[in-house]
Amino acid sequence: MRVRSTRRMPAALVALVALSLVVAACAPAATQAPPAATEVQAPAATEAPAATEAMDPMAELVAAAQAEGMLTTIALPDDWCNYREVIDTFKAKYGLEVNELNPDAGSGDEIEAIKANMNNPGPQAPDVVDVGFSFGEANVDLFTPYKVATWDSIPDSAKDPDGIWYGDYYGVMAFLVNTDVQPEVPQDWADLLDPMYQGQVALSGDPRVSNQAIQAVYASGLANGGSLDNAQPGLDFFAQLNAGGSGNFIPVIANNGLVAKGETPVRITWDYNGLSAIDSFAGNPAAVLVVPASGRFGGVYVQAISAYAPHPNAAKLWMEFLYSDEGQILWMKGYCHPIREEDMRARGVIPADLLAKLPDVSGAVFPSNEQLAAAATLITGQWDTVVGANVQAAP
């Protein structure tokens, strides 16, 4: 009896495994058919409206959004660009619910979320995304175009001409310095090479994976003889900084805890991250943010509406809110430079105390998508060999 059952066992198992193989192979990974009825054509009136027409279409939009009742966002942490207040203000102003998905998602995760929910009208599908610059251009087929009322005051270099994606805010790569541990504050990239910073300078991510870290390396090149078209000097700079492992570069991923502890007293990060960190430290430790004197590198984030958004009108209303002066100023409170900053400065609508808090970032350069992609490929590919743990001291 036992013998029979053991002989049947492998057969049954093989059958089960075979079945699973077939099922797995058939699980579709290919592109989905376009969704049936979830796309609502944008009423013509809301596209690039003239200023005088803004009232009526806006009221229509508000009504349509309220009929939908909900907006689904993703990857918007409370402390990032003051999103907590942005979302709360939006909710209070229009009475919509905001379903916040996964605040710690990265840009890649946001795109994945759109792809994974293409046929899903439920609350898991994001309506709007806020992603890194290169993600906008790379995923145009996932977005639906929309031009907000204030479209013209968005700089051309920061938006897609057809309105598929549009820059929302930017930051400039800067140094967050714990002055309790390191009172000598570096003023520029070259200062970081000074021996007094031995083992004190850290990046905020892994340069082979994290956009923030990659752009930090890219930025350092600007002050080191490189340009937006040539990121190699950035790698060379970090090779020098690392000096084969005994230099100023400490290969741990810096976060605010480590800065406060004093383990990574000089953290290279976006200026808005640094400024909100200083707020959260509340004097313990004392810290300052320095935007390097040369090599000012701007990183732009972009907004887009998902082509498969379950609540397209709520999404459009959200965009109108974000790009209104009110929304842009709320971002400014989170230390992010809103994309319409120049226009708003010219019109004098920014409160003086806010203006005082934002660091001077004049002269910041913004790479194009092609330049970013090229730099990213170079840096992620070459990091290990040029800077990695096994490298000898650079000459």
In the window 47-86, what residues touch another protein (CB under 8 A)?
Answer: 74, 77-79
* Stretch in the footprint of another protein (CB under 8 A) among 102-110, 153-161, 312-320, 358-366: 102-110
Structure tokens at 251: 């290969």
Q: Which is nearer to another protein, 163 or 265 (CB)?
A: 265
> Judged by CB under 8 A, does residue 392 bind another protein?
no
Cβ distance to another protein smaller for residue 47 or 206: 206
- The three-class DSSP label of residue 101 is strand
195 binding another protein? (CB under 8 A): no
Provide the token pair at 68: 């939908």
Q: Which long-range contacts (CB under 8 A, 24 or more apart) does 180-184 make?
A: 180/262, 180/285, 180/286, 180/287, 181/262, 181/265, 181/285, 182/265, 182/266
Residue 208: both structure tokens together? 């082979």
Residue 225 makes contact with another protein by CB under 8 A: no
Q: Which is nearer to another protein, 57 or 123 (CB)?
A: 123
Among the listed residues 40, 193, 243, 258, the single contact to another protein using CB under 8 A: 258
* Residue number with CB closer to another protein (61 or 216): 216
Under rule CB under 8 A, residue 2 binds another protein: yes
Shortest Å, Cβ 273 to another protein: 8
Determine which residue in the list 41, 52, 284, 392 makes contact with another protein, applying CB under 8 A.
284
Q: How far apart are CA 332 and CA 349, in angstroms?
A: 12
The one among 85, 109, 137, 191 contacting another protein by CB under 8 A: 109
Tokens at 373, concatenated: 């992609």
DSSP-derived secondary structure for 285-342? S-EEEE--SS--BEEEEEEEEETT-S-HHHHHHHHHHHHSHHHHHHHHHTT-EETTHH
For residue 171, what are the β-bridge partners?
A: 299
Binds another protein (CB under 8 A): choice among 65, 275, 319, 376: 376
Q: Which residue has the tokens 């810096």?
A: 254
Instruction: Tell me, residue by residue from 294 to 333, as one string, x for binding to another protein by CB under 8 A and - for no binding.
Output: ----------------------------------------
| 181 is a site residue for another protein (CB under 8 A) | yes
Can you tell me which of 191, 263, 325, 343 binds another protein, judged by CB under 8 A?
Answer: 263
- When asked if residue 251 is in the footprint of another protein (CB under 8 A), the reply is yes
* Spatial contact of 272 and 171, defined as CB atoms under 8 Å apart: yes
Smallest separation, CB 6 to another protein (Å): 5
368 within 8 A of 133, measured Cβ to Cβ: no
The length of the chain, given as a count of residues:
395
Residue 120 found at the interface with another protein (CB under 8 A)? yes
Task: Give the H/E segment covering residue 172.
Answer: strand 166-178
Taking the C-alpha atoms of 181, 186, 190 and 192 in order, what is their torsion angle to the nearest 10 degrees?
Answer: 10
Site for another protein (CB under 8 A): which residue of 14, 15, 21, 59? 21
Neighbours of 373 (CB within 10 A): 15
Helix axes 83-94, 312-323, angle to 10 degrees: 120
Name which of 146 and 249 has its Cβ closer to another protein.
249
Q: Of 258 and 293, which CB lies nearer to another protein in the complex structure?
A: 258
Q: Does 141 bind another protein (CB under 8 A)?
A: no
Part of the chain binding another protein (CB under 8 A), chosen from 165-173, 201-209, 341-349, 360-368? 201-209
Among 174, 192, 277, 290, binds another protein (CB under 8 A): 277
Of residues 181 and 315, the one with the C-beta less far from another protein: 181
